[in-house]
Structure 1
Amino acid sequence: MRPPPSPRKADRRHLQVSVLIDVDVGLMRAGVASTGQAVALAEHIAGYPSLTLAGVQGYGGHWQHIAGYPTRRDAVRAGMLRLTAVVTALREAGHRVELVTGGGTGTVAADLERDVLTELQPGSYVFKDAQYADALADDADGAFGTSLRVSSQVVSVNAASIVTVDAGLKAFATEGPAPRPAPGRFAGSAYAFFGDEHGAVSRPPGIEVRLGERVELVTPHCDPTVDRYDSYHVVSVTAIIAIDAARASR
């Protein structure tokens, strides 16, 4: 994927590019850290005929997996105050701020309470994962189950306490909690990474496990797990959907 043209190149080619000012709302990963920096950047943008300031973004990725709604809501409140201060400063300096985008899957309810954002970014809602299941377990959002699973196959039943499946370190994102068996025959069993290609699943008591049997596993972190595959198998619709951007971030 080619990078966007620089402002000077865009000017020479008579292009029009809408841009957002990224605001650090406490994550400290990127973005302007103060209202002064935001206004200075807006003035810089205004100096290029090819650029139009469309608005601001404030994404609190560090809030998304905070357990307990009250604590998560307080974190969102502090971050949205920072974002609101930037929006106010930009408007007072004469800049139009039409789009205020941010939010996430774990903070949707709290984001809506603040009435600051004009666009929400709850991308992981389509899948959820083990981290969200843990963080939202006691919230209304916990009613949404995880839909993304990795289907593994039993390749060894020789051990007394575990069976070996063909999904290991290469099958999942490895940060966060370990994968866990989905509801079904292996519900309540534990999973442990068993190498690059293999995983160990504790035997469900009183159930005979056969070679080739399928074990569905809930993913630890949905985003980078998706990046490891080329397609989804949509079970309820019996379809396979290509991932257009498969491994495009590499």
Structure 2
Amino acid sequence: MRRHDVATPALLLDLDIMDRNIAIMADAISRLGVAARPHAKSHKCVEVARRLVAAGAIGASCATIEEAEAMALGGIPGILITSPIVSPDALARLKRLLLRGADVSVTADNQASIATLDGLAAGIGARLAVIVELDVGVGRTGCREPADAVALARSIAASPHLSFAGVQAYWGNLQQVMPFAERARLVNIQARKLATLIDELKAAGLPPAIVTGAGTGTHVIDAGLGLFTEIQPGSFLFMDSCYGSISISENENPFTPSLFVAATVVSANQPKRVVVNAGFKAFATDSGKPVALRGGPANAIYKFMGDEHGALDFEGKDAPPVGNVIEFLTSHCDPTVNLYSAYHVVRGDEVVDIWPIQGRH
């Protein structure tokens, strides 16, 4: 099958470009002197996780229990669930993973969950590693102050079936701040809070073996802080129009887009407009509009036209014909991936494989 023969809308993954992105990140991690536990929320796919582990990753970070299940059943080691597990359904599924012998650890940010996690581990005769999350300016999850995190670490360490494994700190709100110097300045402000927590944990006799966090946009800055033992970037695999518009380091962005949504022109009756079969159901909508690349008119502007359709408005007379396939760069790769059940994996113009997206939800 050729890439333009795929039934649309479809998610295309250029394998050579993704592998090159993985190699670039692996080289950077080696030079920066940290470990990598790339975030599966970006790809949600066992085959991608296997390629990351083969390139040196110590495991996979997972935002949801669904992602953790997919990675565990695929044999991926070192799974860290980076969001609190508190609902009865999620706890039951975590229990099943532990009973299967999956290599899973969790994060926590409140005292109420500690007894529950301890009881879960006790019920199956296991010991569960727990990482304390510190809120570093996002205002989402995490202990608000270092003192709260130290108290939580003490509770974990005192629990018979839990072990205090370390600290998580992720400044997701800073990943795409520009210019790079301003991003670094803001990271360093939050890093002081993390450094305070590490010092207080050491003083309490609880030095964190793991300090984890970081994303694609700050991984160079974060690794240079001397605080993190590992980092969790994910979007570097695919890139998108938002990450593609920023500098990843002070002077460059070494990563190339590898992920595209293929759509077909289904109507061309309007002047200077064609309509494709990819709308709200085909693209994440939280970070802007997709950008037409391969097969699209030059400088065309995408407009959502409903659940199933989108328009491309353009100047000039060279409209792509009905039936033509256009490939789009998405504005936010992670939630776009979640809309699809599989990647059509391509090399050049050839479809070489289809990989299921097992961790979508």
TM-score under structure 1 length normalisation: 0.92
Please report how far the alpha carbon of residue 72 of structure 1 lies from its aligned counterpart in structure 2 after TM superposition: 0.7
Is 2:78 the counterpart of 1:78? no
- Secondary structure of 1:245's counterpart equals coil
Contact 2:297 2:318 in 1 (8 A): no
Determine the structure 2 residue equivalent to 1:105: 216
Is 2:143 the counterpart of 1:29? no
Determine the structure 1 residue equivalent to 2:236: 125
Determine the structure 2 residue equivalent to 1:240: 354
Is 2:339 the counterpart of 1:225? no
Determine the structure 2 residue equivalent to 1:216: 327
Is 2:309 the counterpart of 1:198? yes
Aligned length: 247
CA RMSD of aligned residues (A): 1.8
Please report how far the alpha carbon of residue 12 of structure 1 lies from its aligned counterpart in structure 2 after TM superposition: 3.9
Determine the structure 1 residue equivalent to 2:300: 189
Distance 2:241 2:145 in 1: 35
- Structure 2 portions without partners, runs of 5+: 1-64, 66-89, 96-116
Residues 29 and 208 of structure 1, relative CA distance in 2, 3 Å threshold: closer
Please report how far the alpha carbon of residue 136 of structure 1 lies from its aligned counterpart in structure 2 after TM superposition: 3.1
Please report how far the alpha carbon of residue 14 of structure 1 lies from its aligned counterpart in structure 2 after TM superposition: 2.0
Which stretch shifts more, 232-241 or 136-145? 136-145
- Structure 1 portions without partners, runs of 5+: none
Contact 2:272 2:316 in 1 (8 A): no
- Secondary structure of 1:7's counterpart equals helix
Residues 54 and 71 of structure 1, relative CA distance in 2, 3 Å threshold: same
Query: Which of 145, 156, 160 is residue 271 of structure 2 equivalent to?
Result: 160
Q: Deviations over 1:6-41 (max 9, x none)?
A: 312322432110010001111111111112101110
Distance 1:119 1:150 in 2: 32
Distance 1:29 1:38 in 2: 15
Please report how far the alpha carbon of residue 82 of structure 1 lies from its aligned counterpart in structure 2 after TM superposition: 1.0
Is 2:263 the counterpart of 1:149? no
Distance 1:137 1:36 in 2: 33
Distance 1:185 1:149 in 2: 13
Please report how far the alpha carbon of residue 138 of structure 1 lies from its aligned counterpart in structure 2 after TM superposition: 9.2
- Secondary structure of 2:245's counterpart equals helix
Determine the structure 2 residue equivalent to 1:176: 287
Contact 1:162 1:202 in 2 (8 A): yes
Percent identical among aligned pairs is 37
